[in-house]
Amino acid sequence: MTTSPERAAIERLLDANLDRAREGLRVLEDWARFALDRPDLVARTKDLRQRLGCLHQERYKLARHTASDPAAGLAHPAQAERQNGASVLAANAARVQEALRVLEEFGRLEDPALAAEAAAIRYALYDLEVDLLQAGRGGDERRALLRRCHLYLVTTPVEGLEGLVAAALAAGVRLVQYRAKSDGADALPGAAPDDRHRFAQASALRQLCHRHGALFLVNDRIDLALAVGADGVHLGQGDLPPAVARRLLGPDRLIGRSTHHLEDLRQAVADGCDYIGVGPVNATPTKPGRESVGLAYVTQAAAECPLPFFAIGGIDLANLAAVRRAGAERVAVVRAITAAEDPGAAAAALLAGLEAGA
């Protein structure tokens, strides 16, 4: 049981950290509003700030006595070293998280409701911070990360997709494409195409990818990519022209293009795509009826393509070495990971195979 002097000290402490957390959240909120132009992130940040505000009791404010606070007005040299918006964002997110931890610990003594809410908000802020930082990632940063990616996971509707992608990301995959055709051609048995479900699933995968620092792209659907804040789209030969996609997506998001012969590749380069899909190298049920292009096209692409390209189509650990010998430094896979008994182990083995052939 706390004594009166201790209770007064705790109330001052809770007031100070409520102020600190709410002020930091306002910094994040204004960055989302004025720098990122992301109403969704503004709404999420405002919600956290207002939830704290509802618990900022009058008795905590009345306990405030700034004049007797020995740390009032203290600064740190690190504050002068912040060079850009991202560094200010990260510093304020850390400030809020630290304040929330204090509220959680000391709130248990005087205000269990505040302690519980502080804990919930702290965990929500972990994801929000990543989303804010990723939303500020520009085109140069995305393209630099793309160049470092050598294994590209293309999803297909399977049970437990989020867990599967999480395992692949934990193994080191840093490029994921969400592929769920609107016509339901690749849907799970008995599942009807549903954009609400696709939006929820793509949103969850985008957050998962961004927590791992991975790029997240959407197949075909520019509207869905924009709706979930994806890093870009992948377009097939029958999809919207890249120029139209660029106009809708802006200059900072990535655009990939499937190609099946050298003329397709040259056109994709001329259209300003960021990377090229080369295939299908082998016949694959993912593209039923599509004739395989074999390794000859991979060799042609390696000789001519100025952009990162990913060989795709029935590639797995058994034929990876042959694809590497044909000139591919990067590969995209579907079933080699999604149909594996252990997706994480399969991804790790593919990454090791790509590194061994480098």
Task: Decide if 179 is catalytic.
Answer: yes
As a whole number of angstroms, the distance between CA 346 and CA 227 comes to 31
- How far is it, in rounded angstroms, from Cα 189 to Cα 214? 30
182 annotated active-site: no
Query: Residue type for 183, please?
Result: D
Q: Looking at 122, 258, 324, 330, which residue is catalytic?
A: 258
Considering 198, 287, 324, 330, which one is annotated as catalytic?
A: 287
Report the distance separating Cα 122 and Cα 275, nearest Å. 38
**Measured in Å, how far apart are the chain's first and last C-alpha atoms?**
64
Q: Which of 144, 139, 133 is nearest to 254 (CA)?
A: 139
Q: Distance (Å, rounded) from C-alpha 154 to C-alpha 333?
A: 6
Nearest to 172 by CA among 350, 357, 358, 356: 350
Question: Look-up: residue for tokens 């804010």?
Answer: 132
Give the whole-angstrom CA distance, residue 167 versus residue 215: 15
Q: Record the tokens describing residue 230, joined without a space.
A: 């994806």
Please tell me the distance from the alpha carbon of residue 332 to that of residue 317, in angstroms, as a whole number. Answer: 12
| Tokens representing residue 44 in the block | 């999420």
221: annotated active-site residue = no
12, 20, 44, 179: the catalytic one is: 179
* Residue numbers annotated as active site: 179, 258, 287
